[in-house]
Structure 1
Amino acid sequence: MTAFLQEVRDFANGPYVSALAKGDTISPAELDAVATKMSAYTGLSVDFIKRANLRVDLQRFRKELLRDQRRTVGRYDSRFTAIDVDAAGEAPEYDASDVQVSGPFTAALHDYLEQDLGYTTDLAYFPSGPGINQAWDWKHKPPGSSRAAQVADTAQDLSMAMRQNPKLKLYSLNGLYDMATPFFGTEYDINHMQLDPTLKGNVRFAYYPSGHMVYLNPQALTQMKADVAKFYDDATK
């Protein structure tokens, strides 16, 4: 898989981004070539990709990939599939990789509170608070900017922190099947922090055969713990 993922990275950073930059001036031949390559990598049809003008939204991808099987793809973990009421809809109606773990999360918390801590309550527990994301103020003023941006991009804050403290280390842990925070998006953000060349060695990445919550995979959790322990040891030497 490592070689395949690098091939896809090269395509995304090369022919794909070049095609997007050309906009409506892209030639029919190049459009066909890029759409065909995208189809081979994603499993979506060439026709669908071309109708989306090469710009496939994540929600659409999750709905479209297995549409002929009346299934949708998970967001936190794309190995999970779900069944929607409306198979012809625009986007998934829920995230299978969320609902299949939220129940055990809730049960485990209640068991811990009641059995270990002796705490009981009639309050409802929500693994993800309802309405919080919709009400969140995402505006953020990055370093060096005179005004707040509408998107909370904090990469430049981290970049400044690393410049101010050259001993600060960054370790990015990624689940390969995570569509909530896809690893390539993380790579892009970190690789555009405009770090001084002397600081680039302070950044490292790790990848696991898991979704967003790496710890749900026992084997990946064991490896992640070992990786993080080594990172702490190396960073404090």
Structure 2
Amino acid sequence: MTEPREIKTPAVVIRRFRLNDADRVITLFTQEMGKVSAIAKGVRKSTSKLAGHLEPLTFTSITLTRGKNLKIITGSQTIKPFLHIRNSLEGTAHALYYTELIYHFTPEDQPNPSVFGLLTEVLDTLDNVASPAILSRYFELNLLKYLGYQPVLRRCQDCGAELQSVVNYFSVAHGGILCPTCTTASALPLSCNGLKVIRFILENEFDLVRKLKCDLVLNREIQNISRSYLRYLLEKEPKSAAWLDELNTNISQ
């Protein structure tokens, strides 16, 4: 099926870089096409009408046309600028972490409406909440789910036995839980409460998840599980994660 010459779709600006003195390449995560890289011509000029609508972390309605190699951005109208995120160092750090994960995990031109919905949901929520810790766990775990990497949390991934109410172990290589009998040296311990919270996050909407009583120790335990799994799949540590961790350390001091 031939792609339409012009496409208009909701999108979030997740990355940009300079192409030349006048133009930029903008990476968008769109509702219709997934991740798309497109040229914004003249956007670096002070007279550009597009520039303000193509800032990173902007939710916009974008118009694209086919170019020789990359698509061309011919129009953009901001739907939501997420001003609270932009004005908060903590909010910006979390949002950039979300968009970096999506940038690295998603292929070009492959629609994933669930990931798009997750991204717009967490950015909209982040724009209105004071503490984003549980929101980030919600994002990490649901991103894994929508990318096809949802961890197996009901039975041991080795022997198949139903998990008991004891400390079990998460194996990134197995993509799920190992029981105490089958655990390996590299598997991460996971408390009963930690396992319950991960299951709850994956099975419920954020309106319910946000009501969880998740203290600092429990949040760090779950973060260690989700981050380790993401790092294993990505085969590297997201750059924004280090900045986020440094910022969280300074906030907690």
Structure with a larger share of its residues in strand: 2
TM-score range, shorter chain: under 0.3
TM superposition score normalised by structure 2? 0.26
TM superposition score normalised by structure 1? 0.27
Structure with a larger share of its residues in helix: 1
Question: Greater CA radius of gyration, 1 or 2?
Answer: 1
